[in-house]
Structure 1
Amino acid sequence: MIRKARAVWRGTGKDGNGDLTTDSGVLSATPYSFKTRFESEPGTNPEELIAAAHAGCFTMQLAFLIQRAGLEPEELSTEAAVSLVPDGQGFKIDRSALTLRAKVPGLDQAKFDELAGVAEKSCPVSRLLNAEITLDAKLES
């Protein structure tokens, strides 16, 4: 399976702008720029997209693991917070902090912690990132 996205940029790094398009059409000429990345102008940025990918990948991986354990989640809600920090003359992503809140009838805390930990380590996006990944997982009743 291969998934594709295209970035087009016009102009300089700080004053230019671009757009992102995915083959699925979910992103279609979606704007991004210095201001959408480092300020609060409407549009997207690479870190936001990585956060969405990480949250989505981890949550789906956990759903599969819970299913394999013979249970069905009522709801799994994950936020990923990706940190972009200075690194020499540029920047790097050094962390993705996952915050999970879950409702899974019949699942005890020990098994929940085990499955969430396995999902965090095994989802393909976690495996791709060369960054610290933290997980704050809470099972709600």
Structure 2
Amino acid sequence: MGTVHTYHIDSTWTGDRGSVGKIQAEGLTTDISIPANLGGPGVGTNPEELLLGAAAGCYLMTLCTLLTNRGISYSKIELHSEGYVEDDHGLRFDRIEHHPTIVVDAGTDEAMVKRLALHAEHACMVASALRGNVVVQVVPTIQVQTPAS
């Protein structure tokens, strides 16, 4: 058996569904509440944003690693992610869409960058945990950076 990595979050909640709780981890402390669009106070973040944030962060770091391992230089990766929660006889996280924009130098193999952007979702640990329950889609945009004159 390989190395086991353990992560911890401590949470507190007092009051009813209109209250505000708190989560705390090594690099994160934030208020949490039921989102306003679900009838809560909308203070701090919520489980839906945290799940989306975990998927987006994992995808971004996986893509960065894949590009680096292939020796593909880039000046920036911007990622916009959207999470879709269906309310069909109960709430269900239906799908996540990642829209990465990868800025590369002229002459970079754009097709390879696109393949790696698509592959990053399959290699991401969080996406692997969600697979079979939540559809995760990637719609990459590759921007070629023109050299300064």
Task: Map 1:12-27; keep pairs closer than 5 Å.
Answer: 12-13=16-17, 15=18, 17-27=19-29
1:9 aligned residue: 13
**Which residue identity is paired with 2:102?**
A
Cα distance, 1:4 vs structure 2: 1.4
Cα distance, 1:10 vs structure 2: 2.7
Q: State, as a whole percentage, how many aligned pairs show the same letter.
A: 25
**Which residue identity is paired with 1:2?**
T
2:75 aligned residue: 74
Give the SS at the match of 2:139: strand
Cα distance, 1:40 vs structure 2: 7.2
Contact 1:36–1:44 (CA<8 Å) still a contact in 2? no
**Which residue identity is paired with 1:24?**
E
Aligned partners of 1:4 and 1:38: how far apart in 2? 29
CA deviation string 1:43-65 (max 9, x = no partner):
11111111111111111101111
For structure 2, list consecutive stretches of 5 or more residues without a partner in the other structure. Answer: 145-149
Aligned partners of 1:50 and 1:24: how far apart in 2? 17
25 and 116 in structure 1: CA distance in 2 versus 1, 3 angstrom threshold: closer
TM-score by length of 1: 0.84
Cα distance, 1:31 vs structure 2: 3.2
2:49 aligned residue: 48
2:124 aligned residue: 123
**Aligned pair count?**
137
**Which residue identity is paired with 2:134?**
A
For structure 1, list consecutive stretches of 5 or more residues without a partner in the other structure. Answer: none
Aligned partners of 1:139 and 1:40: how far apart in 2? 39
Give the SS at the match of 1:2: coil
37 and 25 in structure 1: CA distance in 2 versus 1, 3 angstrom threshold: farther
TM-score by length of 2: 0.80
Aligned partners of 1:92 and 1:5: how far apart in 2? 23
Give the SS at the match of 1:102: strand
RMSD in angstroms over aligned alpha carbons?
2.1
Aligned partners of 2:115 and 2:28: how far apart in 1? 33
Q: Which has the higher Rg, Structure 1 or Structure 2?
A: 2
Answering whether residue 115 of structure 2 is matched by residue 114 of structure 1, we say yes
- Moved beyond 4 Å, runs of 4+: 36-40
Aligned partners of 1:38 and 1:137: how far apart in 2? 34
